[in-house]
Every structure is written in C-alpha cells, then in structure tokens.
C-alpha cells in the first residue's frame, strides 16, 4: 500500500516531490486521496532521476490500480519493462487483470499495443479481445485495438466471420458494423464488385430483420458510395420497406404497410439526386410530420435547401 512507502526502508533514499498545484493559493485544489499523493510524490522523485528499477516498476503498478487513466505512469511503466528486459507475456497477463477491472480505460489498450508490438506475437490477443467484447460488445477502445492488431499482424481472414457472429448476436451493434466495413475495405485494396454485391445483400438481409436499424442502413449506404454505385440501385428495396407508391409528382405511403422511415429517408435523397424535388419535398414532409417528427427541423431544412436550389437554377 502507498502509505507503506513512508516506512519501507527500501525507499529511505528517496525524497518524495510533492504536487505543485499552483503556489500557496491554488485556484482549484484537487482533493487527491492521501495514498495517491504519497505514491505520486515518489513517482515524481524516481522519474526526475530516470530511475530504472524493480521498485519503480512496482510503484507504477500501485498507481495504476489507484488511477488507471494516468497516462504518464503507463508510459514510464513501458520504458521500465523494456529497460529491465521483463517477460512481456507476464506483462500481458497482468494487463488482462487490470482490463477486467477497468473496462472503459483507454490507456490500458494503448499500453497493450506498445507491449504487443514489442513482443511481436499476437497469440493471446484475439481470445482476450473476444472476452472483453463479451463483457461490453460496443467498447470503442477494444474495437480500435482490434483494428490495430489486424493491421499489425495481417489477421484479416478472421474478421468477416467474427463480425457476422457479433451482428447475429445484436444486429444493432454499430461497432460491429463499423468493424465489418473495416474488414472489407481496411486493406486499401480493390475488393471487387462481387464482394460489394455480397455485402449489399448481407446488409439488406439485416435491414429486413430490423428495418429501423440505423447501423445496417449506414453500412448499406457506405457500400454504395465505396463501390461508386448509384443510390437508385436500392430504390425498389426502399420502396417496398417504405410502402411507397409514386406518380410523376406525388408520393403516397401506405400507412398500414410502412416498416421503415429510414427507407423513406433514402428515397427522398434518391428523388433529390434526380432533381425530382416535388417528390423529395413530399417525402421530407411525411418524415417531419408523421414518421420521424423528432428530427422535424432537419427535414424542413433539407426541404427548404432543395427548393432554394431548384429556384436558383430555374
């Protein structure tokens, strides 16, 4: 425990450096716990002389469990591990213990990236990541770390199947959809139109399970843009979900059959892209007044912008 540093003979040679909060009358004094103040005093002391020792490494461990968001401690710990030539697999095991206690902490994953990069072996990583995502399937830091890992060790072959597993478990998991897009396009290579066709079908199937799910819709629109496909490619699909029947200038929606306001939103953009402003404006009005009133001002803005654009070109 940090208070024990005061009576530990092995620290007798160290004079702690106290926290400087801005002079005698600091504007906003932070109420640190006594243990934390003592431990950080010793940390400043050993860092000031760039000490490399087992006791300094243990000090970083104590501090991390008191405040896992202390970036400086993590950075110092990494330097100590490498300088002392510690077993990096043991460090990964230790980090796993910390991760289970502090699920949302970014610094943990940044540290793990540094260690794994040096260790140069991803053997522990995917099983541990999957454990963490079982605890919190939308943890941004874990997903970001997984992307780094895939790039670093060329692990692309696993990713589509894994995202399918996560999406089947929760079709609204936006993090899994984002990672699927990364898995398809992250290498920066031409994936081919057949792959995009397959992914479009995959997204459509997911939308049919949850027609209002923004994640799958965003994925579908992203595929079209990345594949340089016109939005009109999914017009019939959207018509069916929005239960839309159109004439030359009118949009009619079957209230008993509509299952997706998202589909109506996409249709409005398709109409607008073809300069069919009357139909786009009607779709936006339906969204504003009936199907998506929570974003009423947004739909009215889009409608006014389209009308002004049409008037300016008349």
pLDDT at 23: 63
Which of 298, 313, 294 minimizes the C-alpha distance to 268?
298
Q: Which of the residues are catalytic? A: 104
pLDDT at 33: 82
- Please return the burial class of 59, using the count of CB atoms within 10 Å of its CB with bins 0-12, 13-18 and 19+: buried
pLDDT at 2: 57
Q: What span, in angstroms and rounded, lies between the C-alpha atoms of 73 and 47? A: 10
pLDDT at 9: 67
Domain ranges of the chain: 155-229, 239-314
DSSP output for 291-306: I-GGGHHHHHHHHHHH
What are the pLDDT digits (tens) for 237-255? 999 999 998 887 788 898 8
What counts of helices (H) and strands (E) characterise the chain? 15, 2
Which residues in the chain land under pLDDT 70? 1-7, 9, 21-31, 314
pLDDT at 267: 97
Residue 251 φ then ψ, to 5°: -120, 120
Q: What span, in angstroms and rounded, lies between the C-alpha atoms of 277 and 284? A: 10
Q: What span, in angstroms and rounded, lies between the C-alpha atoms of 56 and 308? A: 67
pLDDT at 298: 97
Residue 261 φ then ψ, to 5°: -65, -25
């Amino acid at each position: 425990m940090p208070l024990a540093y005061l009576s530990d003979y092995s620290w007798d040679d160290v004079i702690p450096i106290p926290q400087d909060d801005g002079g005698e009358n600091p504007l906003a004094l932070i109420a640190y716990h006594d243990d934390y103040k003592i431990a950080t005093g010793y940390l400043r002391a050993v860092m000031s002389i760039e000490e490399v020792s087992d006791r300094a490494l243990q000090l970083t461990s104590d501090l991390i469990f008191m405040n896992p968001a202390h970036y400086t401690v993590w950075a110092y710990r990494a330097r100590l591990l490498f300088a002392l030539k510690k077993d990096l697999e043991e460090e990964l095991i230790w980090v796993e213990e910390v991760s289970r206690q502090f699920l949302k902490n970014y610094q943990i994953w940044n540290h793990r990236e540094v260690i794994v990069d040096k260790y140069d072996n991803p053997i522990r990583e995917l099983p541990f990541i999957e454990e963490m995502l079982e605890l919190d399937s939308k943890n941004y830091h874990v997903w970001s770390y997984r992307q780094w890992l895939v790039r670093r060790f060329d692990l692309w072959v696993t990713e589509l199947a894994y995202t399918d597993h996560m999406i089947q478990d929760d079709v609204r998991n936006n993090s899994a959809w984002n990672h699927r897009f990364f898995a398809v396009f992250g290498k920066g290579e031409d994936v081919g139109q057949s792959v995009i066709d397959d992914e479009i079908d995959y997204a459509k199937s997911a939308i049919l399970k949850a027609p209002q799910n923004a994640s799958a819709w965003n994925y579908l629109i992203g595929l079209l843009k990345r594949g340089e496909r016109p939005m009109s490619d999914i017009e019939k699909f959207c018509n069916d979900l929005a239960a839309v029947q159109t004439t030359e200038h009118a949009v009619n929606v079957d209230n008993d059959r509509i299952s997706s306001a998202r589909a109506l939103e996409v249709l409005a953009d398709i109409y607008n892209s073809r300069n069919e402003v009357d139909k786009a404006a009607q779709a936006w009005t339906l969204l504003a007044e009936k199907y998506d009133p929570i974003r009423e001002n947004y739909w009215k803005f889009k409608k006014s912008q389209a009308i002004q654009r049409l008037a300016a070109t008349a």
